């Protein structure tokens, strides 16, 4: 899941398209969706009987659909919905299924483990194998686990505050690191502001969370200057407010600043793991003190892991040993259960490997090129960015350099119209902004299908009232 946001703007919506055309396309696509999905509609009525918001998790309503699409099954790059439409899936569970739906190697490992025990709060032989593979892949020697990337970030934050004795967290404006409350502080007109959408949070998070714009080295230095920041928690490329790429040299300079102020760098590679088997950091020579990986790490099973440098691990272990006995605030009962370990071992051994990534990257580049030329052909002021297997189009002429610029480029109505148009033509992309992910099973034909549908959508948007 990623953030949905509303630009703090009084100017016309981004995108260069007349809002009336957007609304007329949206109305047409909503009617078409309703006509195409009678079984999903009936099932949505049933689901709503006892599930709040009519869905298992309230944000499943963030899709552009008039009622929740219900699925039958999914395999590889394709998802079949309840009405029998076979969709080319470029959402892939918002990265959870980045290695394809139900990858056979993971399914076999799960089946083999399931009959030998699912959870025991004990390690088996998979534990050492997974630790070895993570250390080799990410270049960090010490690891622990969580069920979700959210929890992994939360646990890392706790370890690092304990290890450093510092309270402050520093994040980049517009970030998302799961539902970790501490990160929900935005910069509004240059001032930190706790996100109004955050439910039930009774603490003033601005006391301990500092926020600066991405790619702003001067602001980063100023925020680090009091030497009270435990860690900078960041995605190496921002992916949750649309995509925001680092300026050339940004991370080299930022890492030096962070180190100079005695602060630790945590890179959240939950989405940028699409860059390669060791994430963006390994692919680009960054040297974080800690790394978080989640979502696709278990081939679709809920698993996450975090790795520490030797120095940080020693400090974290010392903090735990120095603490009185009792609850640490870190961990959950089923974390690192036997099924999760089997799934991670299979994923790390067979899927998080260079020869699986290489074709994904080639196809993602073809997709990005195709989107660029389609946008250019329609003369629209939109840009396209790609990070590994991940591609995004944004409603601004040049890639945004920070969260505020990325937010200003958003246009929820236009996104909804596009997403629904694509869905009605058998193509699924993420409900939040305009992200498309390629998995090992995605074919050239899937990419062609997406590009043709995208071209059709732009034709409809640009010609709706001509």
Ligand X SMILES: Cc1ncc(COP(=O)(O)O)c(C=O)c1O
Q: Which residues bind ligand X (CB under 6 A)?
A: 1-2, 94, 148-150, 153, 176-178, 235, 240, 268, 270-271, 294-295
Minimum CB distance to ligand X, residue 90 (Å): 16
How many DSSP H helices and E strands does the chain contain?
14, 16
Q: How many CB atoms lie within 10 A of CB 218?
A: 10
Q: Based on CB atoms, which residue is closest to ligand X, 65 or 240?
A: 240
- Could you tell me which of 302, 295, 282 has the C-alpha nearest to residue 136? 282
Minimum CB distance to ligand X, residue 268 (Å): 5
Angle at the Cα of 218 from the Cα atoms of 403 and 272, rounded to 5 degrees: 40
| C-alpha to C-alpha distances, 54 to 132, 166, 199, nearest whole angstrom | 43, 43, 19
| C-alpha to C-alpha distances, 204 to 175, 210, 213, nearest whole angstrom | 18, 12, 21
Minimum CB distance to ligand X, residue 3 (Å): 8
Minimum CB distance to ligand X, residue 96 (Å): 7
The DSSP secondary structure of 86-99, one letter per residue, reads: EEEESSTGGGTTTT
For residue 221 the two structure tokens come to 């230095």
What are the contacts of 272-275 at 24+ separation with CB within 8 A? 272/235, 272/236, 272/237, 272/239, 272/387, 272/388, 272/390, 273/95, 273/98, 273/297, 273/352, 273/388, 274/95, 274/98, 274/360, 274/364, 274/387, 274/388, 274/389, 274/390, 274/437, 275/387, 275/388
Q: E strands of 4-121, at which residues? A: 71-75, 78-81, 86-89
For residue 67 the two structure tokens come to 């009622």
Q: Based on CB atoms, which residue is closest to ligand X, 16 or 96?
A: 96
Q: Based on CB atoms, which residue is closest to ligand X, 95 or 374?
A: 95
Minimum CB distance to ligand X, residue 102 (Å): 18
Q: Based on CB atoms, which residue is closest to ligand X, 261 or 271?
A: 271
Minimum CB distance to ligand X, residue 270 (Å): 4
Compute the distance between CA of residue 283 and CA of residue 279 in angstroms, rounded to an integer: 6
Q: Based on CB atoms, which residue is closest to ligand X, 74 or 447?
A: 74
Q: Based on CB atoms, which residue is closest to ligand X, 271 or 282?
A: 271
Compute the distance between CA of residue 39 and CA of residue 150 in angstroms, rounded to an integer: 34
Q: Based on CB atoms, which residue is closest to ligand X, 240 or 385?
A: 240
Compute the distance between CA of residue 238 and CA of residue 336 in angstroms, rounded to an integer: 28
Q: How many CB atoms lie within 10 A of CB 358?
A: 12
Minimum CB distance to ligand X, residue 147 (Å): 8
Q: Based on CB atoms, which residue is closest to ligand X, 266 or 375?
A: 266
Minimum CB distance to ligand X, residue 348 (Å): 18
Angle at the Cα of 389 from the Cα atoms of 384 and 393, rounded to 5 degrees: 20
Q: Based on CB atoms, which residue is closest to ligand X, 1 or 418?
A: 1
Minimum CB distance to ligand X, residue 55 (Å): 16
Q: Based on CB atoms, which residue is closest to ligand X, 2 or 68?
A: 2
Compute the distance between CA of residue 305 and CA of residue 279 in angstroms, rounded to an integer: 13
The stretches of 178-290 forming alpha helices (DSSP H) are 217-224, 250-260, 279-284
Minimum CB distance to ligand X, residue 340 (Å): 13
Minimum CB distance to ligand X, residue 262 (Å): 25
Q: Based on CB atoms, which residue is closest to ligand X, 3 or 32?
A: 3
Q: Based on CB atoms, which residue is closest to ligand X, 277 or 370?
A: 277
Compute the distance between CA of residue 345 and CA of residue 323 in angstroms, rounded to an integer: 32
Minimum CB distance to ligand X, residue 152 (Å): 8
Residue 349, C-beta contacts closer than 8 angstroms, at least 6 positions apart? 105, 129, 133
Under a CB-based contact definition with an 8 Å cutoff, are residues 289 and 312 in contact? Answer: yes
Task: State which residue has the least CB distance to ligand X.
Answer: 178
């Amino acid at each position: 899941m990623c953030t949905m946001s509303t630009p703090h703007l009084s100017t016309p919506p981004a995108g260069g398209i007349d809002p009336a055309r957007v609304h007329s396309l949206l109305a047409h696509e909503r009617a078409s969706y309703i006509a195409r999905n009678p079984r999903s509609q009936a099932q949505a009525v049933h689901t709503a009987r006892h599930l709040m918001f009519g869905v298992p998790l309230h944000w499943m309503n963030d899709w552009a659909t008039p009622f929740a699409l219900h699925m039958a099954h999914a395999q590889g790059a394709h998802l079949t919905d309840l009405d029998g439409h076979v969709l080319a899936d470029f959402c892939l569970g918002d990265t959870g299924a980045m290695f394809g739906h139900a990858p056979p190697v993971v399914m076999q490992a799960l089946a083999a483990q399931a009959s030998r025990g699912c959870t025991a709060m004990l390690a088996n032989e998979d534990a050492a194998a997974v630790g070895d593979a993570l250390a080799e892949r990410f270049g960090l020697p010490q690891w622990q686990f969580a069920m979700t990337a959210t929890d992994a970030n939360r646990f890392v934050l706790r370890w690092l505050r304990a290890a450093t004795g510092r309270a402050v967290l520093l994040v980049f404006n517009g970030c998302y690191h799961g539902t970790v409350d501490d990160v929900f502080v935005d910069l509004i007109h240059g001032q930190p502001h706790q996100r109004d959408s955050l439910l039930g949070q009774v603490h003033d998070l601005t006391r301990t969370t500092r926020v600066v714009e991405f790619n702003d080295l001067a602001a980063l230095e100023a925020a680090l200057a009091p030497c009270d920041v435990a860690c900078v928690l960041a995605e190496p490329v921002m992916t949750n407010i649309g995509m925001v790429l680092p300026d050339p040299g940004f991370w080299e300079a930022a890492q030096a600043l962070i180190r100079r102020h005695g602060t630790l760098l945590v890179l959240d590679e939950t989405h940028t793991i699409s860059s390669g088997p060791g994430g963006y950091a390994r692919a680009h020579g960054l040297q974080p003190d800690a790394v978080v990986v989640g979502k696709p790490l278990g081939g679709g099973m809920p698993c996450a892991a975090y790795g520490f440098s030797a120095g940080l691990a020693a400090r974290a272990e010392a903090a735990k040993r120095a603490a009185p006995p009792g609850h640490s605030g870190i961990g959950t009962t089923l974390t690192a259960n036997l099924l999760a370990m089997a799934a991670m071992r299979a994923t790390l051994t067979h899927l998080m490997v260079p020869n699986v990534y290489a074709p994904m990257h080639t196809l993602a580049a073809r997709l990005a090129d195709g989107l660029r030329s389609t946008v250019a052909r329609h003369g629209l002021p939109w840009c396209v960015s790609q990070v590994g297997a991940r591609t995004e189009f944004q409603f601004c002429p040049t890639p945004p350099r920070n969260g505020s610029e990325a937010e200003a480029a958003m246009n929820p109505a236009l996104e909804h119209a596009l997403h629904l148009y694509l869905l009605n033509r058998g193509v699924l992309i993420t409900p939040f902004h305009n992200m498309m992910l390629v998995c090992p099973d995605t074919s050239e034909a899937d990419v062609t299908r997406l590009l043709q549908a995208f071209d059709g959508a732009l034709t409809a948007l640009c010609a709706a009232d001509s």
